[in-house]
Homo-oligomer: A and B are copies of this chain.
Amino acid sequence: MENYFAERMNILRASDIREILKITQRPEVISFAGGLPAPEFFPSREIAEVACRVLEREGTRALQYSTTEGHAPLRAQIAARMNAKCGTQLSPDEILMTTGSQQGLDLIGKIFLDRDDVVVCESPTYLGAVMAFNTFRPRWIEIPTDENGMDVRALETALGRERNVKLIYVVPNFQNPSGRTWSLERRKELLALAVRHDIPVVEDNPYGELRFAGEPIPAIQSMDTTGMVISLGTLSKIFCPGLRVGWIAARRRFLDKLVIVKQGADLHSSTFDQMVASEYLASYSIDENIRRILVAYRARRDVMVKALELEMPEGVRFSRPKGGLFLWVELPEGIDARELLPRCLKRDVAFVPGGSFFPARNRDNTLRLNFSNMPEDRIVEGIRRLSAVLREMMAEHSRHHDIAPETTTAM
């Protein structure tokens, strides 16, 4: 037997981001490529303190096997926090703790997706969801998405046309990669369509609490009286990602199945990490920590937006997100961000070409910039270099194709 592997391995491959991150380990690289939170806001002193307290007070429990559902006090804290922040009415037994919210995607793929089932998503969509769901070999239908969310007419058409739609996957707040946030109107329309077609909605919400401007918009799950919405949350962006504390919030008809597949996937998530997170939430104000993060991220976003406005050539459009970690750039048609990347890397600047975020079709003239993980002066310098390389490339392209660049329209 030459090929030992399952058929799915023909389509699964390492993420582009991962490969880029490997290249950008050198400290001189100005990296807008990752999605890393700023480590200076990890509460490491407080974590050391609560870790010691947990081990002293209940060490044998913290180090022992525990239930698949997760640490009961933490599930209660998460439910209470979601109810307060997102307007949901969840009970603690509707929370399943996961090894980061990435695992939530894997478990959801497992319980819902057979080969050739359809997943409907935003265009572009989160690469990690594409990777997790592709294990189960679905077809993807991308729905055009604008500043206010999915084009619900296009969604309606797709749901009317396609059989076998098993999931609608959305990131309604400060989406990765686009930075976009759905309006209340669109959320309601999506929910109504999903309920009418009886299709579960996965509301992935890692960035909802990272809002710098404007008012929070209710979660889709908070408006759902039918139990069709399954939401994913995580402490990675508001506490720290190294502990891998994520969760799924769903009605028991879905959660019971998710618990079964989680058991096969890793028995349970780290007992110790869950108890440390729980003790931190009980002892400190995570809201205080979030406020400190927001001050820094808002400043970094402002600096990046200003630098882009100053430096970018005509024909380039970019988003101005009100929260989250990412900003989305659309280059003129015909400029391939995959060709831009190696030229930028030579000048020690990194980003992620946008093509990977389109599971069904490619739009190679796009790229994702992360603004949370670089200090302000390096953001300015990085955007300067990126813009210079892009200008060179556009000039060559224009000589080559003899086409005038498009007019600038800032998104």
Contacts and interface: CB of A to CB of B under 8 A. Distances in A.
B42 A7 contact: no
Q: Classify chain A's interface size.
A: 35 or more
Interface string A69-112: 00000000000000000000000000000111011011000111
Contacts of A98: 266
A6 B111 contact: yes
A4 B62 contact: no
Interface in A39-61: 39-40, 42, 44-45, 47-48, 51-52, 55-56, 59-61
Interface in A184-240: 198-200, 236, 240
B273 A270 contact: yes
A299 interface: no
A4 B6 CA distance: 25
A222 B301 CA distance: 54
Contacts of A45: 55, 59
Contacts of A273: 270, 272-273
Contacts of A271: 241-244
A63 B9 contact: no
A405 interface: no
Interface stretch (A132-140, A335-343, A362-370): A132-140
Interface in A150-175: 166
Contact of A68 (B18, B56, B64): B18
A263 B15 contact: yes
Contacts of A117: 6
Given A9-B257, A18-B68, A270-B270, 10 more contacts: A4-B166, A5-B257, A9-B260, A12-B264, A39-B63, A47-B55, A51-B51, A63-B243, A128-B264, A243-B270
